Structure 1
């Protein structure tokens, strides 16, 4: 039985101005997720090393380490490189800001003042993807435990070829989990279900 994946995700809000953080919290409050504040790029990086986030909302214009530098640092770290970043900036932003943001690896770019519904919708997409990825990771871990528990009796019984096939499938799932989109998530879920049936079949044969 698959362990339940917590519905609540964490969202990191990064802005050096208190009023902007308050506004973001008001817009995202209806999503009922954990909202974490950071008032600088340095503070944001420390927060991301302490806990996992489903998405980061990052202001571009900040003193010291600005949004572009912060995003670049996030993408350099193995622990945080896959976290999606939405860059936020004012209406007086340079025309090349969006290009620079996407070049760094930002997932999206919004200009203030933004439509609250649009922001919530964009954030919700990343929240759903984060939940799918965590569910797939949980399923893959359960399959690894099943294989570890049954490895000795299965080896004694001799189903080496099928065991090798299952191990290869698990390796492919682990690779895809590092970089998957919503479409891939469905395919991976189906593959995981097939593997679970294969493992159960091997257990039944050994019991017989």
Structure 2
């Protein structure tokens, strides 16, 4: 069963916790609750895939050894989903680190790998880095959209000026020069990231 342990807001990124063991999910929630982000549980790879289709996540914490779709198969499926392939995956496992699981995990697209029992401070710090990266990427997307909107506005203003010139509307030369100067300054500011 998937559930959210914190209220979801548009400006917050979820953390997907995937483990078939209830006590492991409870431990992850206890460690990560203080980050203040929505924690979403999935008890299987199949549930994880459904959750990824419903909402955006900043990071996935994924147990390797699960019945059915194991962590490696789940990670491979995540990386094939267009809307989820960018989401970092931290593998969590209770098996020996020398078993080759780390190599296999990284080869399936994992960003990190931790062996249970893990240090709660280390896990929280790693997840926090991915949350911050997710937030920065969102900010960058917003800035790009703002720039596209400004460029669209400029194109509209230029089209109006061209229309006025083409229809012979009496636009004073001084007014036209002032409008063009304002447009040039806006374009310069956009180029230099000041607008």
Tell me: CA distance 1:51–1:192, structure 2 relative to 1, closer, same or farther (3 Å): farther
Q: CA deviation at 1:154?
A: 2.5
Q: CA deviation at 1:15?
A: 0.3
Q: CA deviation at 1:115?
A: 0.1
Q: CA deviation at 1:52?
A: 0.2
User: Of residues 100, 119, 123 in structure 2, which corresponds to 1:119?
Assistant: 123
Q: Is the 8 A contact 1:86 1:110 kept in 2?
A: yes
* Partner SS state of residue 12, structure 1: strand
User: Of residues 38, 42, 45 in structure 1, which corresponds to 2:42?
Assistant: 38
2-structure distance, mates of 1:58, 1:192: 42
- Counterpart position of 2:169: none
Tell me: CA distance 1:153–1:193, structure 2 relative to 1, closer, same or farther (3 Å): closer
Tell me: CA distance 1:193–1:31, structure 2 relative to 1, closer, same or farther (3 Å): farther
- Counterpart position of 1:20: 24
- Counterpart position of 2:154: 150
Correspondence 1:88 to 2:92? yes
Higher relative contact order (CA 8 A, sep 6+): 1
Larger radius of gyration: 2
Aligned residues: 165
Q: CA deviation at 1:146?
A: 1.4
Q: CA deviation at 1:93?
A: 5.7
Structure 1: 5+ residue stretches without partners = 167-190, 198-208
Any residues of structure 2 matched to 1:145-184 within 5 Å, and which? 145-155=149-159
2-structure distance, mates of 1:105, 1:133: 19
Q: Is the 8 A contact 2:96 2:115 kept in 1?
A: no
Q: Residue by residue, what CA displacement relative to the aligned partner does 1:165-191 show, whole Å, maximum 9, x if unpaired?
A: x7xxxxxxxxxxxxxxxxxxxxxxxx9
Normalising by structure 2, we get a TM-score of 0.77
Q: CA deviation at 1:153?
A: 1.9
Q: Is the 8 A contact 1:84 1:126 kept in 2?
A: yes
Q: CA deviation at 1:54?
A: 0.2
Correspondence 1:55 to 2:59? yes
Q: CA deviation at 1:121?
A: 0.4
Q: Is the 8 A contact 1:139 1:192 kept in 2?
A: no
- Counterpart position of 1:194: 192
Q: CA deviation at 1:151?
A: 0.7
Correspondence 1:139 to 2:138? no
Over the residues paired in the alignment, what is the CA RMSD in angstroms?
A: 2.4
Normalising by structure 1, we get a TM-score of 0.72
